[in-house]
Structure formats: C-alpha cells, structure tokens
Structure 1
C-alpha cells in the first residue's frame, strides 16, 4: 500500500514539473511584430527577454532630425525575422501584463535579442539579461547603428516620463 502511495506522489510531482510553464512552453511559428521588443506567435504575445527597444511612439534624433525610432526598430525586426522563418521562443516567465517573456530564435538559430542589440534597435536591459547582450550593444554603439547613430532616451525612461512616474531601469 505504501508503495502505491509513494508512486502516486512521485507521478504527481513529475507531472507538475513536466507541465510547468518553464518546461512545457516553447512556441514556434510565424512571428508578427507588435513593436521592437514584442512579437506574437499563434495568438501568444511574447516580450523578448533581456532587451528594451524604443516604443512605437518614441522619437530619436539623428543628423539633426527627429525620426520615429520605435517604428524603425519594429520594421527592422520584422524584416530580419522574415528572412528565416519560423521563430521559436522558449518560456522564461510571465510579465505583469500576462505576456510570455521568452528567449527567441530564428530558424537559422540566431538569437533575436542579440540581433536587436547588435543592430542597435534595442538596448541590453541588464536588469533582466544579466549583461548577456552588453558586447552586442557596445558594438552597435561603436559603429553608430540603429538608435546609436544619434541621440535617444532609454525606452524605460521614455515610458516612465510619459506615465509621469519614476523610471525603474
């Protein structure tokens, strides 16, 4: 009898581990770009882990002129993802908005977060990345790519300013 109870408990624990979001949730498919750091696959919104891209409404300055850097980041991401479909995302956690936060990769294995930082369309969000994309960001900065070709406000600071609250980045 004790053997059956022990086996039942073991199977229940194994089921919980294997059915947890971290173990079970990998999503793959054609990605639709929502903004520079958020995509959607099969109806699931996915916030890209460890990077922070300009908001769609955000403007930056390059060559003395304002431009819609948030829109440019989203368009660049869309073009890059379209070159090697499908996109695969591995679950990291759920954010406060209920979105899946994930590490995402193109069909050729390229990291979406690393590409965004290296191309200059997002910054390494050390709070969540642990500095994983720092080298890629530094390369973009040195070469004046994306938002690094001029002046910009960090996306987390722009969101805070717009919401009239203190930035938490």
Structure 2
C-alpha cells in the first residue's frame, strides 16, 4: 500500500511539474503579433491597423450610438470616446502588441503612441471603463469625475445587451498567466509538502 501511495505521489508531482513548465513556456512566448503604422479609429476601443481590426484589450468604451447623461442633459459619450481616442493618436505612428483575438476575430492588443499606453489613457481620461484591466486608472478617473464619471451612464456591455449590440466578456488582463503560474506553484508546493509528510 505504501508503495502504491509513493507511485501515485510521484506521478502527480511529475504531472504538476510538466503543467508548470508548459505554462512557463507559453508565458515566455510573448505577444503573438506586433504591428505599427497609421491607425484608423473605429470607435473608442477599436482601431484598424495594417488592415486588421484591433480591439484595445482590458477596456470598454461607450458604443458610437450610446448617449450618456450629464447635468446639461444628453451627452453623446460614444462619439466623444471615439474623438478622444483619435485625438490621442493624432497623426502619430501607432504600435500595437496583440496577444490573441476575441470571438469576433478582432486582435486584442495594447496599443501605444510615443510610448503612451492608449488603453490606459482612455480609461484614465474617463472615456472608457476597466474591462479586465486598468482598474487603477478607472479609480483615478472616477475620483476626479472625468469623462463618463462626470455624469451617469450604462456600462457599455449593459448598453450593448439592451440595444442588440455584440456581447463580450471582460478581457483577461495581461499578466494573468503569471498570476496563474504563481498560484499553481503555491498549490504544487503545498501538495508536495502534504504528500511528503504522509
């Protein structure tokens, strides 16, 4: 019986180590695609770059037809979000590091202009909300009552659901794999120590 327990323990440990190494290899591969050039702004969180649709990962901006509320009344927040992103980009070269795509075939990417993270800038200015990442930037914009936070609005995902738009889940934040590896490593360490003490 003791021999069977030792074999089971060794097999479990081997499987966990292989899983851990596989996750490390995936993490080291980095972004799937890097692209650069003149971007065309589609809306507050979508660009076309090198002929490919790019969704700014980790954020969610109001839809073009979405209207929000401010003290003065209706505010075309969807159009304003698009204009704000266009102003951030201007005529500058845009660089995007894509890491996967969403269910609509758009590349999920962090995009930059002159080393400025456009995803973070949209949330920091209050023109988009955190959607799997950028919670710190959202907290700052909310505290300063910038952009969307200066009035009331439906979260873009809620607005899409009630107006027949494309639905999507919050994006998995960059660094999720590192967090998963850390948790698995802790779990493996605990499992090994429990098996060794038996």
Where does the alignment leave 5 or more consecutive residues of structure 1 unmatched?
1-16
What TM-score comes out, normalization by structure 2 length? Answer: 0.67
The residue aligned with 2:89 is 81
Matched, 1:120 2:126: yes
Q: Secondary structure at the match of 2:108?
A: strand
Rounded Cα–Cα distance in structure 2 between residues aligned with 1:37 and 1:168: 14
Q: Do 2:59 and 2:131's aligned partners in 1 also have CA atoms closer than 8 Å?
A: yes
**Aligned Cα RMSD in Å?**
2.3
Q: Residues 65 and 137 (structure 1 numbering): CA distance in 2 closer, same or farther, change over 3 Å?
A: same
Q: Secondary structure at the match of 2:123?
A: helix
Rounded Cα–Cα distance in structure 1 between residues aligned with 2:30 and 2:89: 25
Q: Secondary structure at the match of 2:98?
A: strand
The residue aligned with 1:146 is 147
Equivalenced residue count is 143
| Structure number having the greater helix percentage | 2
> Once the 2 structures are TM-superposed, how far is the Cα of residue 164 of structure 1 from its aligned partner?
8.8
Larger Rg: 2
Rounded Cα–Cα distance in structure 1 between residues aligned with 2:165 and 2:150: 27
> Once the 2 structures are TM-superposed, how far is the Cα of residue 64 of structure 1 from its aligned partner?
3.9
Where does the alignment leave 5 or more consecutive residues of structure 2 unmatched?
1-25, 171-198
1:18-97 matches, cutoff 5 A:
22-23=31-32, 25-82=33-90, 85-97=92-104
Rounded Cα–Cα distance in structure 1 between residues aligned with 2:129 and 2:122: 8
> Once the 2 structures are TM-superposed, how far is the Cα of residue 153 of structure 1 from its aligned partner?
0.3
